[in-house]
């Protein structure tokens, strides 16, 4: 039998946490033969609710779940973890300045970075979900210098999956037959959902999405804004932000990272930019990546047309600006 993998979920008493921990305990993240030990962290005001989640995990009698640590102690939460999914953060409340929200999250991610650096298992893989996800991940990277930069990522897989979903609905095809969309840049409304290399599996082979949709105005307009603003549309409909889709996408992100992407398929991940495609280096930027043996690689050599170039640059500029804002909160 396999040794259990320790998976940390911060903000585990929240909405996404509530959807995510049962998925992990069922093997959705790491596979149906991989036992797990869940580490759940939240803050003291949520301690009782967190304990309630732990009670439900016990009650669900998941065969793969070999233990649960539910705590408000960051060190206890981080000790020995192999995977860390950072969902906890300070939400933007009405009337709050962007800088104030950034400042709260910078201090949270700075201290959790140190705890992970000192107490997590070697080679721990980190996924930041909490917003501003890319910049929180960057702060985590900066304050955990002994964790390799390639181990720290941000979630844009939900945006990627939303793009697949929109194409599948539009063409009335199975979502599993659509692949290789790309989310470039920031997990924010400046993200660029790109279908220029996306394909659909048809009875007569793989066909480009553009050739099948036959409506460039929609693909360059409404499709992009729908994906960019999907989070707001969910809030409007549900009066709560996306949770089950965020949790499921976080599982997809880690599963593909650890177990690999299928041959010929790439996914989108926010990773530490090396300046590929002439986007800014030194920020966490979402790229198309393939994964093998637990490591991601940016897909190189894709053609970038003029419209795309502008959009890659715009979202890159926003990330540089967020980075500056985050740094200004440190001093």
Q: Enumerate the active-site residues.
A: 187
Q: How many CB atoms lie within 10 A of CB 62?
A: 19
- Identified binder of ligand NAX from the candidate list 8, 36, 84, 87, rule CB under 6 A: 87
Nearer to ligand NAX, 196 or 241 (CB): 241
Spatial contact of 279 and 285, defined as CB atoms under 8 Å apart: yes
Near ligand NAX by CB under 6 A, which window of 41-49, 172-180, 222-230, 308-316?
Answer: 41-49
φ and ψ of 256, to 5 deg: -65, -35
Rounded to a whole number of angstroms, the minimum distance from the CB of residue 94 to ligand NAX is 14
In terms of DSSP bridges, do strands 295-298 and 284-292 run parallel, antiparallel, or are they unpaired?
antiparallel
Rounded to a whole number of angstroms, the minimum distance from the CB of residue 126 to ligand NAX is 13
Near ligand NAX by CB under 6 A, which window of 42-50, 206-214, 259-267, 320-328?
Answer: 42-50
Closest by Cα among 113, 174, 27, 79 to 330: 113
> Using the rule CB under 6 A, is 27 a contact of ligand NAX?
no
Residue 320 tokens read as 């540089």
130 appears as a binding residue in the annotation: yes
Rounded to a whole number of angstroms, the minimum distance from the CB of residue 199 to ligand NAX is 24
Longest dimension (CA), the chain: 59
Do you find a cis peptide bond into 267, omega within 30 degrees of 0? no
309 appears as a binding residue in the annotation: no
Which residues, at least 6 apart from 11, have a Cβ–Cβ distance to it below 8 Å?
17, 41, 42, 86, 87, 88, 89, 130
> Using the rule CB under 6 A, is 102 a contact of ligand NAX?
no
Near ligand NAX by CB under 6 A, which window of 86-94, 113-121, 211-219, 257-265?
Answer: 86-94
d(CA 131, CA 289): 22
| Residue of closest CB approach to ligand NAX | 14
d(CA 295, CA 131): 24
Closest by Cα among 292, 266, 80, 243 to 164: 266
SS3 301: coil
Q: How many CB atoms lie within 10 A of CB 101?
A: 19
Footprint of ligand NAX on residues 244-273 (CB under 6 A)? 246
> Using the rule CB under 6 A, is 42 a contact of ligand NAX?
yes
Rounded to a whole number of angstroms, the minimum distance from the CB of residue 204 to ligand NAX is 35
> Using the rule CB under 6 A, is 13 a contact of ligand NAX?
yes
> Using the rule CB under 6 A, is 16 a contact of ligand NAX?
yes
Footprint of ligand NAX on residues 139-198 (CB under 6 A)? 155, 158, 187
Closest by Cα among 146, 106, 107 to 126: 146
Near ligand NAX by CB under 6 A, which window of 7-15, 291-299, 305-313, 314-322?
Answer: 7-15
**Is the CA virtual torsion 101, 107, 111, 116 positive or negative?**
positive
Nearer to ligand NAX, 105 or 180 (CB): 105
**Binding site as annotated, residues for substrate:** 92, 98, 131, 162
**Binding site as annotated, residues for NAD(+):** 11-17, 42, 105, 129-131
Residue ranges that bind ligand NAX, judged by CB under 6 A: 10-11, 13-17, 41-43, 46, 87-91, 108, 129-131, 133, 155, 158, 187, 231, 241-243, 246
């Amino acid at each position: 039998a396999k040794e259990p993998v320790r998976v940390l979920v911060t903000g585990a008493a929240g909405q996404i946490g509530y959807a995510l921990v049962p998925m992990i305990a069922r093997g959705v993240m790491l596979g149906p033969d991989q036992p797990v030990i869940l580490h759940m962290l939240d803050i003291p005001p949520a301690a009782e609710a967190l304990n309630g989640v732990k009670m439900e995990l016990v009650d669900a009698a998941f065969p793969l779940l070999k233990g649960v640590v539910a705590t408000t102690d960051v060190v206890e939460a981080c000790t020995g973890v192999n995977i860390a999914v950072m969902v906890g953060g300070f939400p933007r409340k009405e009337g709050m300045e962007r800088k104030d929200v950034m400042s709260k999250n910078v201090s949270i991610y700075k201290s959790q970075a140190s705890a992970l650096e000192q107490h997590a298992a070697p080679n721990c893989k980190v996924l930041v979900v909490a917003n501003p996800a890319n910049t929180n991940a960057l702060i985590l990277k900066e304050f955990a210098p002994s964790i390799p930069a390639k181990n720290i990522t941000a979630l844009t897989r939900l945006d990627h999956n939303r793009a697949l979903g929109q194409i599948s609905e539009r063409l009335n095809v199975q979502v599993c037959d659509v692949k290789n969309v790309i989310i470039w840049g920031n997990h924010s409304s400046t993200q660029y959902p790109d279908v220029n290399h996306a394909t659909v599996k048809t009875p007569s082979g793989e066909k480009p999405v553009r050739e099948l949709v036959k409506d460039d105005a929609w693909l360059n307009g409404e499709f992009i804004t729908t994906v960019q603003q999907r989070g707001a549309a969910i809030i409007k409909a549900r009066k709560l932000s996306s949770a089950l889709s965020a949790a499921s996408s976080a599982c997809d992100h880690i599963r593909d990272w650890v177990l690999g992407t299928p041959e010929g398929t790439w996914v989108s991940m926010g990773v530490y930019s090396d300046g590929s495609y002439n986007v800014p280096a030194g920020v966490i930027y979402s790229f198309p990546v393939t994964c093998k043996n637990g490591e991601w690689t940016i897909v190189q050599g894709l053609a970038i047309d003029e419209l795309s170039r502008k959009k890659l640059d715009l979202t890159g500029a926003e990330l540089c600006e967020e980075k500056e804002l985050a740094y200004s909160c440190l001093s």
